[in-house]
Amino acid sequence: RTAVVLFTRDLRLHDNPALAAACANAEQVVPLFVFDPALAGRSPNRDRFLHQSVADLRAVLRDRGSDLVLRQGDPVAETIRLAGEVGAEGVALAADVSRYAKRRERRLTEEGERHRLSVRLFPGLTIVDPGALKPGGGDHYRVFSPYHRSWQATKWRDQIGLPKKRPLPSGVDVGRLPDEPAGESPGAVPGGETAARRRLRGWVGNVERYDDLHNDLAGDGTSRLSPYLRFGCLSPLEVAHAALARPAADPFVRQLCWRDFYYQVAQAFPEIGRKAYRRGATESWQGDDAAFDRWAEGRTGVPIVDAGMHQLRREGWMHNRARLVTASYLTKDLGVDWRRGLGEFGRWLLDGDLPNNAGNWQWTAGTGNDTRPYRRFNPERQRERYDPDGEYVARYS
Ligand code: FAD
């Protein structure tokens, strides 16, 4: 028996339910990644990170006597074609929440039926599956605290280690890895499961101090695992278990729950990047283009705002506290539409993805699920509190 595993944004071997199931049930497994032109070109930083993650996945599969088959084009057509070439009976892939991903899953299932291929979807994108938890009378949780309580009380799926080693069928054309695209941020971290695991191992000892340090801009005490979670180079479940093996992990694990929370919101409300999420939210934006450009380029003259935007451009990442301050400044001080800020972050962020980016922009802009929609972060006060010695501002001046 032969199975194809279609990798999408689960670019890892460890705790990968789709890969593990294929390797448990089939004698020959064909790992496949399809570069989809419809998804490329939105963010040079992420295009590069994705490329590096795919290259790393190929290397780790080769170390285990397998390989990663690479194709370019429509993932559905390419998967069906490859499955035909290798005589596969099944295709496994991770379920995802976006409209685009859902359509891809539906088309693959339909095409699979026409070709007598069984297409199976697996968990792994989040710790608790989006849609698994529902409040009484609703299809998803709209407010974080009750979601968090219910999430903590749920039994998580069992974590899976490395999959069984399975060879490729002979004679498969594995395809060439395209040249690495150029990113825009010189300080961007490298993609891939290998780098991700190194980062997790190196950081997890700090989990006990997370509660004290996570708001200290210069201390840079957060995990910086977000790009790896974005592309599934790490399983969020594995990250949670690694943290929970240490004392005082709850504040950090709570942040992972925010990620799950926004995924279940985005699944239920796919317009999250375009429309106000909160019923009855009023929107009247009027900021001008010049003000937006000054914000985006870090030329507002407000030191903490400019430092945040410089960090974004330099590293393709920004500290959460600075994200809050810069987003609040754009929407509440300059009156610019949050969708423009969302687009700018989306261009640069290595971890940029719709549920978290839009969910957090809406929260800050006051159109989301926050119970205090008129909150504004005073940049001066934020700087005094979270960068008292001016170290962060100096570093990213
Ligand atoms: P840590 O503090 O170490 O947290 C661990 C993990 O928890 C993160 O890697 C992330 O996966 C998750 N997490 C933490 N905070 C949040 C949060 N508020 N919402 C959802 N998940 C969270 N995060 C993204 O992953 N992608 C985005 O596109 C994104 N856009 C944002 C836009 C704005 C305006 C704001 C205010 C926040 C945004 N965040 C986004 C959330 C948060 O800033 C980042 O997840 C965090 O800074 C990543 O750094 P870290 O890995 O060191 O986080």
Q: How high is the pLDDT of residue 321? A: 98
| pLDDT reading at 185 higher than 90 | yes
Task: Let me know if the fold of 194-268 is the same as that of 273-395.
Answer: no
Report the alpha-carbon distance of residue 177 to residue 180 in Å, rounded: 8
Q: Which tens digit of pLDDT belongs to each residue from 56-69?
A: 999 999 999 999 99
Rg of the chain (C-alpha set):
21
Report whether 257 belongs to an annotated binding site.
yes
> Top-level CATH class of 194-268?
mainly alpha
- At 110, the pLDDT band (50, 70, 90 cuts) reads very high
Q: Give the nearest ligand 1 atom to 236 CA.
A: 11
130-165 pLDDT per residue, tens: 999 999 999 999 999 999 999 999 999 999 999 999
Q: Which CATH architecture group holds 2-124?
A: 3-Layer(aba) Sandwich (3.40)
The pLDDT assigned to 282 comes to 87
Compute the mean pLDDT over every residue in the chain, rounded to the nearest whole number.
97
Long-range contacts: 354-359, Cβ < 8 Å, 24+?
A: 354/98, 354/266, 354/272, 354/273, 355/97, 355/259, 355/262, 355/263, 355/265, 355/266, 355/272, 356/258, 356/259, 356/262, 357/273, 358/266, 358/272, 358/273, 359/261, 359/262, 359/265, 359/266, 359/272, 359/277
Mutate which of 360, 364, 370 for ligand 1? The one with the most ligand atoms within 8 Å of its CB, which is 360
pLDDT digits (tens, 9 = 90+) for 195-246: 999 999 999 999 999 999 999 999 999 999 999 999 999 999 999 999 999 9
What's the 120 CA to ligand 1 centre distance in angstroms? Answer: 30
Q: How far apart are CA 67 and CA 55, in angstroms?
A: 11
Going from the Cα of 251 to the center of ligand 1, the distance in angstroms, rounded, reads 13
**ipTM > 0.90 (yes/no):** yes
What is the per-residue pLDDT across 276-330, written as a single tens digit (0 to 9) for each?
999 989 899 988 899 999 999 999 999 999 999 999 999 999 999 999 999 999 9
User: What pLDDT sits at residue 372?
Assistant: 86
Query: What number does the ligand 1 atom closest to the CA of 346 have?
Result: 28
One-letter amino acid of 242:
A
Ligand 1 lining (C-beta closer than 6 Å)? 214, 222-226, 229-230, 255-256, 258-259, 262, 320, 323-324, 327, 345, 349, 351-353, 356-357, 360-361, 364
Q: Which CATH number fits domain 273-395: 1.10.579.10, 3.30.70.20, 3.40.430.10, 2.60.40.10?
A: 1.10.579.10
The domain limits of the chain are 2-124, 194-268, 273-395
